[in-house]
Amino acid sequence: MNATPVPGSPDSLSCDEALNLYLDHLTLRGRAPATIRTYATSIGSFFAFLAGRGKEPARTPVTVVQLSDIAAFLLYATRAGRKPATRAAYLTALTAFFRYLILNRQYPGTVEALRAQLGELTVMGAKGRPAPDQRLPALVRGADSALHAAKGDRARLVSARNRAILHTLIASGMRVSEVSSLSRPDIDWERGQALILGKGGRQRLVFFSPEAIAAVNLYLDMRGDDGFTPLFLHHDNAHAAQLARERAMKGEGESLRLSPRQIQSVVRALARKEGIRATPHTFRHFVATELLNDAGADIRDVQEILGHASLATTQIYTHKGATRLAATAARRFSK
């Protein structure tokens, strides 16, 4: 194993070389292209700041960079009016970058010291922990009422589907792409949970409240024994041809699966009827804040339940094994 390079020594990687090495590492780990771009942009912004202070990234050894430079960069970003979320992304990317370099003996120090020093930096406002948006439970209750008021078989089926989508979102905190990808065999009905493939190809458990399981079951009962695999389907006249083709070919119904964009449209339309603005991502905020504020969840449990790759992402909401995570989710459902 190579010794840690001495700051400024000929063996030190330049800042640009270190960044390219780190981005290759993220690619090999299978991180999502959008995540890699975010990290590259964040670290690149830091390097541009260093260049303005006479540390040209192409020539400056990365070992010459000080953690105090990061503090100065975040102060600069604050004074320049960068949003807290942007500054949080900067800090997350830089922490991960220098952690990687330390573990690979390309930067002096220890990961513990890095975390201790960077952990003292704050990028959020002093408003405290955000509160759950109580308009969202009202939106779900509105969907319950809409089902009772719906007239006609198709209207009732669409209403039951929309209601099941809202219950799934408010119980699980899944990303809209994850909700779209749900299939009937994914769900463990007895335990009220599902093993899904989330962002970056990472598997995780998601949890359904008893109300969500009941809402999904009602929707499936109203669909009848159609033999289709996707959990949430189109039921409009525009997809009549696809429905006929799937039935004729005894297909699994993939051409009828609701896409993420279509689920977003469903949620926005339901929210407009209630006079509020909401998207599927709004429900992820709700789940995170309710878990932290009301269920007393550990932040690392919330990280796993929501499928955040980085703890720093979950920390936006703050200012273990499957059994533990299920217990955390159940505490929230049994309030």
| Amino acid (one-letter) located at 11 | D
Catalytic pick among 25, 184, 223, 281: 281
Give the confidence band of 59 by pLDDT, cuts at 50, 70, 90.
Answer: very high
**Which is catalytic among the residues 199, 268, 300, 331?**
199
Catalytic residue among 175, 204, 234, 257: 175
Looking at every residue in the chain, the average pLDDT score rounds to: 82
The class that CATH gives domain 15-118 is mainly alpha
| Torsion sign (Cα): 198, 199, 203, 209 | negative
Task: Judge contact between 53 and 100, C-beta under 8 A.
Answer: no
Residue 317 bears catalytic tag:
yes
Give residue 25's pLDDT: 93
CB 300 within 8 A of CB 216: no
Q: How far apart are the first and last CA of the chain?
A: 53
At residue 323 the predicted structure's pLDDT band, cuts being 50, 70 and 90, is low
Q: Say which of 204, 285, 308, 332 is annotated catalytic.
A: 308
Could you confirm whether 308 is annotated as catalytic?
yes
* C-alpha to C-alpha distance for 289 and 291, rounded to whole angstroms: 5
- Strand 203-207 and strand 187-188: pairing? unpaired
Burial class of residue 43 (count of CB atoms within 10 Å of its CB; 0-12, 13-18, 19+): buried
| pLDDT tens by residue, 107-131 | 999 988 887 777 666 554 434 444 4
Q: Measured in whole angstroms, how far is the alpha carbon of residue 260 from the centre of its chain? A: 14
**pLDDT at position 42 over 90:** yes
Q: Is 281 a catalytic residue?
A: yes
The tokens for 36 are 């890699």
Query: What is the band of 64 on the pLDDT scale with cuts at 50, 70, 90?
Result: very high
Q: In what order do the strands lie in the sheet with 193-197?
A: 187-188, 193-197, 203-207
List the domain boundaries for the chain. Answer: 15-118, 135-333
The span from the CA of 166 to the CA of 159, in Å, is 11
Tell me the average pLDDT across 250-277.
91
What's the rounded Cα separation, in Å, for the pair 153 and 121? 57
- What are the two backbone dihedrals, phi and then psi, of residue 139, each rounded to the nearest 5 degrees? -65, -40
Using the Cα atoms of residue 307, residue 309, residue 311 and residue 314 in order, give the sign of their dihedral: negative
Q: What is the mean pLDDT of residues 50-77?
A: 92
Q: Which of 71-80, 124-133, 160-169, 241-250 is the least confident region?
A: 124-133
Task: Using alpha carbons, list the distances in angstroms from residue 215 to 37, 109, 140, 152, 161.
Answer: 38, 53, 11, 19, 8
CB atoms within 10 A of CB 310: 15
Residue 3: predicted pLDDT:
44
For the domain spanning 135-333, the CATH number is 1.10.443.10
Q: Are 253 and 228 in contact (CB under 8 A)?
A: yes
Q: What is the pLDDT at residue 135? A: 79
Cα separation, 194 vs 205, whole angstroms: 6
Q: Which residues make Cβ contacts (< 8 Å) with residue 203, sequence separation at least 6?
A: 195, 196, 197
Catalytic residue (choose from 284, 285, 319, 335): 284
| Residue carrying the six token digits 């799937």 | 246
Q: Could you say which of 22, 39, 219, 317 is catalytic?
A: 317
| Confidence band of 311 (pLDDT split at 50, 70, 90) | very low
How far does Cα 80 stand from its chain's mean position? 27
Q: At what angle do helices 260-273 and 135-149 cross, to 10 degrees?
A: 90
Report in angstroms the alpha-carbon separations of 151 from 141, 156, 233, 266, 281. Answer: 18, 6, 19, 19, 30
Partners of 197 in the β-ladder: 203
199 catalytic, yes or no? yes
